[in-house]
């Protein structure tokens, strides 16, 4: 029994020793090492908080040291804020007597929220530095952030403190109607390329009004936000061919997080919804990415023209069309959780020189889905009067990228001409691509289009692609999605082939 008591006392002594906080330290001598000498916080919009960035600080010496002060050079006035090994210090700006053990390291996490007026007026950079110690032992790590000015559009606050709302699908959602005579922003129905736009909530286009996006317009949607084109309203996107990698004339819809970490994350914002009764829509040179559903059409009001458009990284659908009437040329869609293109509840569709690829990391998604029914609708079936695909690529990461969902209660008319298609073997009469000439002509089945870089949404092809020079001249669109002249016979898909960098 005595030996157990002795062991208990010994264990208690060790435990108490391990809880010491009074380390013997020496003063820092200015020999700290850092994981980087400059921390670049990616571009942010004015007054929107950045992501959190990390700096690691190393003590390579054999001594436990005390750093007398870690602080931002601009002190309490700095727009940066830090935590040092989980400590907040004085408002995240100043930290005194920070202990760093021998051969150990500590983490500093940095964020910023700054206005355009805080930045340098010539380059819009906001800078500061983290200072370690002072005098002869002073060491510094620079902080740099680009602040971007923008037009902010958001629901107003009502007198009772609630937010302005609009009705979508019979539900009140945070939103507002754009005003062509707004006292602050002027004409909110005209999106120019002068400044980017940041939208909170759903921005609605009023009845009998047209929203126009000029070439080079940039629109950023906050989480849960979107664009709602209401009854009898119209949308015109007037992008144009760009001559540089900056896509200076492309119209771009994306989320409002500008950091590179967010560049390809799906679901950062909701959707562009075209309500029943909206009409006369034209989309040219639009790049849309990282939404829940990219474009959602709900009626056959008038023909919708979509040209030279790229849609990527959508949680549900790239394009969802319910009984719509769409003419599409040079469209590229990749990564969608359910379907890149889904045309349901009938309608009328014609797609030429389009690339519908779906490399979503799942097993049940499609590149293209066609249906003439809709559960819960009245009636549940509606005629699919036309669904034509000419000189297209329909491909992806699953074995079956093309899906037909027929209901005998309504017409179902479709045809694929000169298309490259990925589809596993099937005895179903609807998928007899070589013998069913009523629906399929010159189908290239299960051959690799050899896209340049699918993971980066680069769906270009070269001369080794199975889609090279396999198009029908009768369906040719003279230039591709990038404005490059097509050869004869044309390549399949949205892109004219080119040689890739070695």
Contact 387, 413 (CB under 8 A): yes
Q: Do 194 and 104 sit in the same domain of this protein? A: no
pLDDT for position 19: 42
Task: Sort 202 into a burial class: Cβ within 10 Å, 0-12 / 13-18 / 19+.
Answer: buried
The residue out of 89, 124, 147 marking a domain boundary is: 147
- Alpha-carbon span 349 to 356, nearest angstrom: 14
pLDDT for position 157: 84
Number of domains in the chain: 2
The residue with tokens 């020999």 is 31
**In degrees to the nearest 10, what's the CA dihedral of 461, 464, 465, 470?**
110
Contact 175, 164 (CB under 8 A): yes
Q: Do 269 and 348 sit in the same domain of this protein? A: yes
Q: Do 242 and 365 sit in the same domain of this protein? A: yes
Q: Do 199 and 91 sit in the same domain of this protein? A: no
Q: Do 194 and 138 sit in the same domain of this protein? A: no
Q: Do 112 and 58 sit in the same domain of this protein? A: yes
Query: In the chain, what is the straight-line distance between the N-terminal and C-terminal CA atoms, in Å?
Result: 78
In a domain, 166, yes or no: yes
- Alpha-carbon span 221 to 174, nearest angstrom: 13
- For residue 384, the enclosing domain spans 151-475
pLDDT for position 274: 96
What is the rounded average pLDDT for all residues in the chain? 92
Q: Do 87 and 163 sit in the same domain of this protein? A: no
Closest by alpha carbon to 260, among 483, 448, 43? 43
The residue out of 130, 147, 164 marking a domain boundary is: 147
In a domain, 434, yes or no: yes
The residue out of 147, 176, 193 marking a domain boundary is: 147
The residue with tokens 């709900």 is 298
Residue 238 C-alpha from the chain's centroid: 21
- Alpha-carbon span 15 to 6, nearest angstrom: 14
117: Cα within 13 Å, side-chain hemisphere: 0
CATH of the domain at 124: 2.60.40.10
DSSP strand pairing (317-336 vs 293-297): parallel
Residue 337 C-alpha from the chain's centroid: 14
Q: Is the pLDDT of residue 451 over 50?
A: yes
Q: Do 71 and 177 sit in the same domain of this protein? A: no
In a domain, 17, yes or no: no
Q: Do 161 and 107 sit in the same domain of this protein? A: no
- Alpha-carbon span 480 to 487, nearest angstrom: 10
- Alpha-carbon span 447 to 422, nearest angstrom: 7
Question: pTM of the predicted model, to two decimals?
Answer: 0.86
DSSP assignment of 276-327 equals TT----EEESEEEESBSEEEEE---SSPEEEEEEEEEEESSEEEEEEEEEEE
Q: Is the pLDDT of residue 4 over 70?
A: no
In a domain, 279, yes or no: yes
Q: Per-residue pLDDT averaged across 243-267, rounded? A: 93
The residue with tokens 């699953």 is 398
In a domain, 482, yes or no: no
Q: Per-residue pLDDT averaged across 477-498, rounded? A: 97
pLDDT of 372-404, one tens digit each? Answer: 999 988 899 999 999 999 999 999 999 999 999
pLDDT of 337-351, one tens digit each? Answer: 999 999 999 999 999
pLDDT of 157-187, one tens digit each? Answer: 888 878 899 999 889 999 999 999 999 999 9
Q: Do 293 and 430 sit in the same domain of this protein? A: yes
Q: Do 109 and 157 sit in the same domain of this protein? A: no
- Alpha-carbon span 396 to 363, nearest angstrom: 11
Q: What tokens appear for 307 in the block?
A: 């040209």
Q: Is the pLDDT of residue 6 over 50?
A: no
Q: Do 132 and 229 sit in the same domain of this protein? A: no
Nearest 5°: phi and psi at 10?
Answer: -65, -45
Strand residues in 92-217 grouped as ranges (E): 94-100, 104-112, 125-132, 139-148, 151-153, 165-168, 171-177, 190-191, 197-199, 202-205, 210-214
Q: Is residue 220 classed as helix, strand or coil in its secondary structure?
A: strand
417's enclosing H/E stretch is strand 415-417
In a domain, 454, yes or no: yes
């Amino acid at each position: 029994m005595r030996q157990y008591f002795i062991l208990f006392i010994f264990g208690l002594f060790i435990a108490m020793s391990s809880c010491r906080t009074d380390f013997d330290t020496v003063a820092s001598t200015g020999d700290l090492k850092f994981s980087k000498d400059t921390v670049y916080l990616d571009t942010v919009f004015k007054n929107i908080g950045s992501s959190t960035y990390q700096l690691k600080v190393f003590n390579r010496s054999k001594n436990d040291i005390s750093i007398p002060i870690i602080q931002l050079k601009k002190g309490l006035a700095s727009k940066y804020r830090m935590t040092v090994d989980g400590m907040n210090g004085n408002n995240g700006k100043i930290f005194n007597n920070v202990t760093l053990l021998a051969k150990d390291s500590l983490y500093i996490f940095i964020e910023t929220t700054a206005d355009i007026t805080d930045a340098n007026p010539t380059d819009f950079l906001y800078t500061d530095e983290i200072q370690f110690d002072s005098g002869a032992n002073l060491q510094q790590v620079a902080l740099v952030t680009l602040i971007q000015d923008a037009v902010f559009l958001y629901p107003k606050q009502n007198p009772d403190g609630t937010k302005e709302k609009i009705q979508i699908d019979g539900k009140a959602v945070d939103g507002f109607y754009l005003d062509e005579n707004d006292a602050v922003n002027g004409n909110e129905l005209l999106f120019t390329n002068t400044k980017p736009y940041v939208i909170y909530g759903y921005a609605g286009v009023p009845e009998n009004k047209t929203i126009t996006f000029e070439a080079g317009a940039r629109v950023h949607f906050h989480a849960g936000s979107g664009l709602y084109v209401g009854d009898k309203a119209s949308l015109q996107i007037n992008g144009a061919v760009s001559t540089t990698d900056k896509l200076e004339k492309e119209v771009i819809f994306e989320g409002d997080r500008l950091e590179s970490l967010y560049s390809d994350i799906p679901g950062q914002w909701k959707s562009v919804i075209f309500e029943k009764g909206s009409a006369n829509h034209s989309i040219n040179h639009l790049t849309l990415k990282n939404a829940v559903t990219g474009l959602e059409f709900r009626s056959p009001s008038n023909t919708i023209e979509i040209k030279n458009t790229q849609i990527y990284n959508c949680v549900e659908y790239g394009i969802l069309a319910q009984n719509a009437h769409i003419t599409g040329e040079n469209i590229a869609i990749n990564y969608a959780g359910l379907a890149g293109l889904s045309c349901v509840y009938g309608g009328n569709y014609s797609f030429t020189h389009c690339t519908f690829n779906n490399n979503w990391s799942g097993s049940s998604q499609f590149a293209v889905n066609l249906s003439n029914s809709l559960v819960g609708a009245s009636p549940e079936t509606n005629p699919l009067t036309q669904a034509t695909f000419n000189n297209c690529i329909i491909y992806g990461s699953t074995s079956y990228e093309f899906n037909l969902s027929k209901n005998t209660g309504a017409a179902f008319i479709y045809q694929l001409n000169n298309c490259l298609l990925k589809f596993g073997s099937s005895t179903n009469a609807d998928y007899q691509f070589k013998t069913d000439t009523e629906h399929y002509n010159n189908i290239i089945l299960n051959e690799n289009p050899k896209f340049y870089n699918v993971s980066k949404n680069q769906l270009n092809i070269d001369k080794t692609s199975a889609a090279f020079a396999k198009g029908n001249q009768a369906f040719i669109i003279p230039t591709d999605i990038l404005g490059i002249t097509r050869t004869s016979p044309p390549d399949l898909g949205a892109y004219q082939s080119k040689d890739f960098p070695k």
